[in-house]
Copies of this chain bind each other. A is one copy, B any other.
Amino acid sequence: MKIRPLGDRVVIKRLEAEATTKSGIVLPGSAKEKPEIAQVVAVGPGGYVDGKEVKMELKADDKVFFSKYSGNEVKLDGEEYLIVKQDDILGIVED
């Protein structure tokens, strides 16, 4: 099963943060900050959203920074995803 986002929405999945601090200590789960970088899983079609034309600038597999606390968390087949509006994507991480 997969999620097809509507309008200007984007499905993203948080990338696992490194569970090791700079000093080399392995952190238990609860001490890890939620990772700030996510990977784009699916991109809505854009078009007219709230009366304004939105062109989608993202594609699947983009690594992105997203606005904290934005979007809705959903679970599908035991996996957690975030569904956010494209406007909640701050920027794309490039190599």
Binding site for B on A (CB under 8 A): 1-7, 9, 11, 36, 42, 44, 47-53, 55, 57-58, 65, 67-68, 72, 74-76, 83, 86-87, 89-95
29 A-B interface contacts by CB (under 8 A)? A1-B93, A1-B94, A1-B95, A2-B93, A3-B65, A3-B90, A3-B91, A3-B92, A4-B91, A4-B92, A5-B90, A5-B91, A6-B57, A6-B86, A6-B89, A6-B90, A9-B91, A44-B91, A47-B55, A48-B52, A48-B53, A48-B55, A50-B87, A68-B72, A72-B90, A74-B90, A76-B93, A83-B90, A83-B91
Instruction: Give, as a whole number of angstroms, the nearest-CB distance from A41 to chain B.
Output: 10
